[in-house]
């Protein structure tokens, strides 16, 4: 049992490290919550992530167009599907 417990602990730390380094909310990566309460709505974390992280990445990539002098990179606007 000790080896299995250690492996489970390592997996949890690795998961947490990946979430922190990528700065993505866990529900966007399909992480299953460890408590019975769950994460709640996925819409709010997705909108915050798009505004705080995705927008800055897009802006940096779009700077390549200015450097090249032609439109080489383009993005569709970030939109969530309507709530069911």
4-47 tens-digit pLDDT: 778 888 888 888 888 888 888 888 888 877 777 778 888 999 99
Query: Residue 56 in contact with residue 63, Cβ under 8 Å?
Result: no
38: left (phi over 0), alpha (psi -120 to 50) or beta: left
Q: What was the pLDDT predicted at 84?
A: 67
Q: Is the pTM of this model over 0.75?
A: no
Cα radius of gyration rounded to whole Å, the chain: 18
Confidence of residue 55 (pLDDT cuts 50, 70, 90): very high
């Amino acid at each position: 049992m000790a080896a299995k417990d250690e492996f489970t602990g390592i997996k949890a730390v690795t998961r947490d490290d990946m979430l922190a380094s990528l700065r993505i909310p866990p529900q966007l990566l399909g992480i299953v919550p460890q408590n019975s309460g769950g994460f709640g709505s996925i819409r709010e974390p997705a909108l915050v992530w798009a505004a705080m992280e995705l927008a800055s990445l897009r802006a940096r990539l779009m700077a390549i167009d200015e450097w090249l002098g032609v439109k080489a990179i383009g993005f569709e606007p970030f939109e969530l599907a309507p709530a069911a």
